[in-house]
Amino acid sequence: MMPSRPCYALPPVRGTYAENAPLKDLVWFRVGGPAQILFRPVDAEDLATLLYAKPAGLPVTVIGVGSNLLIRDGGIPGVVVRLPGTFGKIAAEGTRLRAGAMALDAAVARAAANAGIGGLEFLRGIPGTIGGALRMNAGCYGREIKDVFVEATAIDCSGNILTLKAEDMGFLYRKSGVRADMIFVEAVLQGAASDADQVRSRMSALVEQRESTQPVKAKTGGSTFKNPPGHKAWQLIDEAGCRGLRRGEAQVSEKHCNFLINTGNATAAEIEALGEEVRARVKAKFGIELEWEIKRVGVS
């Protein structure tokens, strides 16, 4: 059980603290309990101050726009960091883009197009922010973050501001090897000079394909499970008889089997239990264990 009130002496900051702060409207599933403490830093130095001076043992969780996140119904103990819009600035530097961690992936793709930079179009098809994309090496349509990554700025659990190069990231399929306690604040991505109209045309084609095959207007968390080697998760789920499967008001999407959706007022417990049922059915039929791609946090 999460304590009803904070039990930590928090350091003074320039940003804001809020106790027992609702989080469900900050995540795409629209489910989940509150943050014991929600912290919105003013800038990277303010965030570093909290991480340096926080009490020993204080759990810290960072969330972006919650596009690939399931917060359990009991909420998140400790401090939840939500970066404000000031961490979402985007600037072109030749054929590179510098983007804050809260910059939406789609906004980065559009900024690249406007600057005549190609190669970042795939970001238009990825929900969420650059910070989350770095953490999970997000990708679609044959490209992923590691293909365009130059460097990132992150703050570790002791408040040190670090610059990470490609060799520090440990990129693998749908994850990075960076320690979980590091919080990304900025990234530099590499593109190539390209005609802006051609870049926009390629992005439009990606958006059309995504909207025709995925439940983009539903309350969902995006792709639920990683593709096992040599297989497509949606196909395994479909062939295991899970298309349209329900648990309470949680459902496996009829449109794309690798998406779980909240059809009304589902609980996080219903969504997670449905996901585990899908995993069990796939394991029973194919002997393949699906790995969650959606990040699940908090207490039940």
Same domain, 125 and 220: no
Q: What pLDDT, on the 0 to 100 scale, is given for residue 160?
A: 96
Q: CA–CA separation, 182 vs 154, rounded Å?
A: 6
Residue 225, in any domain of the structure: yes
pLDDT beneath 70: ranges in the chain: 1-8
Structural domain span for residue 164: 87-199
The predicted structure's pLDDT at residue 7: 52
Residue given tokens 């303010």 in the structure block: 46
Share of the chain above pLDDT 70, in %: 97
pLDDT, position 9: 85
**Residue-wise pLDDT tens digits, 227-273:** 999 999 999 999 999 999 999 999 999 999 999 999 999 999 999 99
* 187 and 234 together in one domain: no
pLDDT for residue 221:
94
In the prediction, which pLDDT does 141 show?
84
* Residue 95 neighbours by CB distance under 10 Å: 17
Closest to 299 measured CA to CA, from 39, 99, 137, 70: 70
Domain boundary among 68, 85, 102: 85
Q: Residue 146 has what pLDDT?
A: 97
pTM of the model: 0.92
* 279 within a domain of the structure (yes/no): yes
Active site residue ranges: 174, 223, 293
Residue 17's nearest CA partner among 46, 44, 45 is 46
User: Residue 20 sits in a domain of what CATH number?
Assistant: 3.30.43.10
> What is the tens place of the pLDDT at every residue in 27-65?
999 999 999 999 999 999 999 999 999 998 999 999 999
Asked whether residue 9 is domain-assigned, the answer is no
**Is 6 domain-assigned?**
no
The residue from 65, 85, 105 where one domain ends is: 85
Out of 69, 85, 101, a domain closes at: 85
Task: Find the CATH number of the domain harbouring 130.
Answer: 3.30.465.10
Contact 90, 97 (CB under 8 A): yes
pLDDT cut 90: percent of the chain above it: 92
Supply the pLDDT for residue 8.
64
CATH classification of the domain holding 293: 3.90.78.10
Distance between CA atoms of residues 219 and 235, nearest Å = 22
**Quick one: pLDDT at residue 2?**
58
User: Phi and psi at residue 128, in whole multiples of 5°?
Assistant: 105, -165
> What is the count of structural domains for the chain?
3
